[in-house]
Structure 1
Amino acid sequence: MYQRILVPVDGSDTSNQALTVAIGLAQAFHGRLRLIHVVAEMGYSTGLEPYGGYSGGLVQAIREAGSRVLADGMALARAADVEADSVLFDEFGGRLGETVADAATEWKADLVVVGTHGRRGLGRLLLGSGAEQIIRLAPVHVLAIRGTSATGEG
């Protein structure tokens, strides 16, 4: 049923739970995964202007952290004997939902599996909802995995 499963990962517990579910689906349907890490919203979350407010060291640290998140996710997929690859998106100034939707279209994904922190009220208003953006913009079905803690933080 689902042969090409796209999984945005950020290294959080909730993201790792979504990855675990995606691995199980890939095993059940003999599918493959594409893990993506998007650092495109840093300007929005830090208040810095896209491109203009980053030092070279910060940009490199962000890329290295994203690469580590992807490597950790790939190790989990390999350990489960699931075919997977990964892509790092670091175009500063882009939006998470748009980047994920574009990646799903380009790769011809059947499903997107994403973790949601379950923020509500002011936290959601201030931080936005990445999962909500993805659900709204994705060109395919989206499975949202809610974190297991009482706070929704994973």
Structure 2
Amino acid sequence: MYKRILVPVDGSETSTRALVAALQMARETGGRVRLVHALDELAYLSGYEYSADLLKAARDQGSRVLEDAQAMAKSAAVPADSRLVEAAGRRLGELVAQEARDWEADLVVVGTHGRRGMSRILLGSGAEQVLRLAPVPVLAVRTPQAAD
């Protein structure tokens, strides 16, 4: 059913769980995945003369995240490609929605922390943005919460 699965990755445990779920689905359906890492340049520019070095470091880190995700896909025998997207001033949900349209994805698989209350208000929810803006179905893979 789902042959083209888009997976935003950031190297976190949460996005890794989403990637594992996406790879399993792709393997079962004979599908493929596209891995996307968003680089928001504005988050790395400080106004100091070293900002170009910070941006290069952020690009290098994003490339490593994508390489690690590609290695997981290869290990799972799932065809995959990747894109490092510079998204200055764009929200994650907008970027993922555009990538899903451009690549003609059938599904987006995204990790979520399942934050509630004040932590969600303060930290925001990239997964919620993706759910609201994606032009295709979204599978949100939640990280298990620690017992209180």
Q: What is the TM-score of this pair, normalised by structure 1?
A: 0.89
Q: Distance in 2 between matches of 1:149 and 1:75?
A: 27
Query: 2:133 corresponds to which residue?
Result: 137
SS at match of 1:88: strand
Deviation at 1:118, TM superposition (A): 1.3
Aligned: 1:35 with 2:31? no
Distance of 1:13 and 1:144 partners within structure 2: 14
CA contact (8 A) 2:36 2:82 kept: yes
Cα distance between partner residues in 1 of 2:32 and 2:69: 13
The aligned runs of 1:105-124 (5 Å cut-off) are 105-124=101-120
- Taking only aligned residues, the RMSD between alpha carbons, in angstroms, comes to 1.7
1:53 to partner: Cα distance = 3.8
Match of 2:143 in 1: 147
Unpaired segments ≥5 residues, structure 2: none
| Contact 2:34 2:82 survives alignment (8 Å) | yes
| Deviations 1:87-130 (CA, angstroms, capped at 9, x unpaired) | 00123211100000000000000000000011111211111100
Q: Which 4+ residue blocks in structure 1 deviate beyond 6 angstroms?
A: none
Residue matched to 2:22: 22
1:15-55 per-residue CA deviation (whole Å, 9 max, x = no partner) reads: 00000000000001000000000122x64xx5x7xx67471
Structure 1: unaligned runs, 5 residues or longer = none
Question: How high is the sequence identity, in percent, across the aligned residues?
Answer: 57
- Pick the aligned partner of 2:56 from 56, 60, 79: 60
